Amino acid sequence: MIDLAGTDLTALAWFIAAWLGFNVLVELSPLKARTLSHHMNLHRRGWMEMMSRRPVRIMDVGIAAGLQQGTGFFASTSLLAIGGCFALLTSTDSILKMMSDLGLKGGGNPALWELKVIGLTLIYAYAFFKFGWAYRLFNYATILMGAMPEENAPEEHRRIFAEKSAGIMVLAGTHFNRGQRAFFFSVGYLGWFVDPRVFIATTFFVVCVLARRQFASRARALAAALHQLPSAPIEPAGGMKTETGSSNPFTR
């Protein structure tokens, strides 16, 4: 059985509490309405509403495909990170010797080292599942874009369909954010390999960085300010008449 020191237990408890607490802060607390993620979710809903009134939606599908590809990249990166963690487990002795030569505290107990690596592996596994599910959700959102009622459909029908489609898009963004948050906290977790006190400090640093981006970043201010701008009117469908007399929606 691995006997964790009091400082290790304290640092690990602080890490878990900080991660869970930050999730609650930005997703469940009353302060979530002031976050960058919340404002971007509002823009996602606005995007779906505007798309339901557009006669040509190729641009929208292209944007969704780009979001899906980015999510796939992070999912692949998570698998690579998991593989790297398994490589660390097979090189325990050589790594501990190197850490001892450097005078680092984490280079003494092989069992504790392996426990730390397993914990890091679990973080990346969690990120993979979040990115994998977000990838599927973006795929579902793209399908719903293709199934969106045409602009001549009843207004209420289009509005409800756009609202539900936006819900899928928001859910995909939420899971993507959770996966990225796991990546950020994995950076803080690396401090435990050096010393529990470094672990506490790096976790605090990650929380500060994430909190600033959500509540006090320039990106958040710009996203919030854009809600005050009026939406551009949607031109009637039909396009322009070409020389052949046909209506081409791509030549506006």
* pLDDT digit string, tens, across residues 62-76: 888 899 999 999 999
Residue 164 has pLDDT above 90, yes or no: yes
- Are 172 and 134 in contact by the 8 Å Cβ rule? The answer is yes
pLDDT for the residue 241:
45
| DSSP character string of 78-143 | HHHHHHHHHHHHTTHHHHHHHHHHTT-GGGS-HHHHHHHHHHHHHHHHHHHHHHHHHHHHHHHHHH
Packing angle of the helix pair 6-27, 155-189 (nearest 10 deg): 160
* All residues at 6 or more sequence positions from 251 whose CB lies less than 8 Å from its CB, including other chains: 239, 240, 242
Share of the chain residues as helix, strand and coil, in percent rounded to the nearest 5: 75, 0, 20
Residue 249 has pLDDT above 80, yes or no: no
Mean pLDDT of 130-140: 95
Residue 237 has pLDDT above 50, yes or no: no
Residue of 132, 141, 134 whose CA lies nearest to 176: 134
Mean pLDDT of 93-113: 72
pLDDT for the residue 220:
94
Instruction: Say how far apart CA 190 and CA 17 lie, in whole Å.
Output: 17
Q: Which residue has the higher pLDDT, 229 or 112?
A: 112
170: tokens are 């928001």
Residue 48 has pLDDT above 50, yes or no: yes
Side-chain-side CA neighbours of residue 180 (13 Å):
14
Mean pLDDT of 176-191: 96
pLDDT for the residue 146:
86
Residue 104 has pLDDT above 90, yes or no: no
Residue 250 has pLDDT above 60, yes or no: no
pLDDT for the residue 207:
97
Residue of 5, 21, 26, 25 whose CA lies nearest to 173: 26
- Global pTM value: 0.84
Residue 112 has pLDDT above 90, yes or no: no
Residue 38 has pLDDT above 50, yes or no: yes
Long-range (24+ apart) CB contacts under 8 A made by 2-9 are 2/109, 2/111, 2/112, 2/115, 4/112, 5/196, 7/196, 7/197, 8/112, 8/192, 8/196
103: tokens are 């005078």
Mean pLDDT of the chain: 86
Q: How confident is the model at residue 219 (pLDDT cuts 50, 70, 90)?
A: very high
Using only C-alpha atoms, the chain has a radius of gyration, in whole angstroms, of 24
51: tokens are 């798309």
